[in-house]
Amino acid sequence: QVQLVESGGGLVQLGGSLRFSCAGSERVFSSYAMGWYRQAPGKQRELVATITSGTTNYADFVKGRFTISRDNTKNTVYLQMNSLKPEDTAVYYCNAAGSIYTYWGQGTQVTVTS
């Protein structure tokens, strides 16, 4: 059973910063694309950012504000979130996507107040 364990998140004011971490098993990090998704109340889950061995991809609404990175020696992927806005309020999920299986973290709440 592959587990993704998230940490970080919380309550922050407009313009503030937060950092997420997602730790997984070595098998996940050696061969999976890693990413972050979010789901706001009443909305569908949406892609925030992904990272493979060599490339990153961001949703337009976070470009220039969020940065995804990974440390394969620690089996950890990070999401640095800067210039946060109230519309960034959501539950954020870590994701590991392989050719056959996809795994999710437990989800972490982010609330941005104005």
DSSP 13-69: ETT--EEEEEE--HHHHHH-EEEEEEE-TTS--EEEEEE-SS-EEE-GGGTTTEEEE
At 8 the pLDDT is: 92
96 pLDDT more than 90: yes
Q: What is the pLDDT of residues 26-74, one digit of tens each?
A: 777 778 899 999 999 999 999 999 999 879 999 999 999 999 999 988 9
Do residues 81 and 49 touch, judged by C-beta distance below 8 A?
no
Nearest Cα to 52, choosing from 34, 36, 69, 37?
34
Helix (H) or strand (E) holding 97: strand 90-97
**How far, in Å, CA of 22 to CA of 39, rounded?**
17
At 99 the pLDDT is: 86
